Amino acid sequence: MPYKEEDEGYLAAEARQMLSDNPYPRGTLRYQHWERGWHIKNDEAHREDDESFLAAEIGLRLSDNPHPPGTIRYEEWRRRWHIKTAETQRAIRLGRR
């Protein structure tokens, strides 16, 4: 499963474990993937009211980005939309949807 360590880190953060609880050796890809999952979960709370997250949540497509292409706002919206879409896919993998 390609997202195993990332999902483990996500679940660890959800269980309020510390970043230092990463069980993988520092400097390995597994360590980095676990850490990425942990950060994703911790960042979620700060993004709940973000317009791009809400757009992904209600099923809008990437092409529904309301900002002009080539602008910073367009790229930020796009990046956050991708993050939320990945979170939704993770929830499906974990059986939470």
**Predicted local confidence at residue 54, as pLDDT:** 80
46: CB partners within 8 A, 6+ apart = none
Average pLDDT over residues 26-38: 94
**Predicted local confidence at residue 67, as pLDDT:** 86
pLDDT at 39 over 70: yes
pLDDT at 25 over 90: yes
pTM of the model: 0.53
**3-state per-residue secondary structure call for the chain:** CCCHHHHHHHHHHHCCCCHHHCCCCCCCHHHHHHHHHHHHHHHHHHHCCCHHHHHHHCCCCHHHCCCCCCCHHHHHHHHHHHHHHHHHHHHHHCCCC
**Predicted local confidence at residue 30, as pLDDT:** 95
Does 55 or 34 have the greater pLDDT score? 34
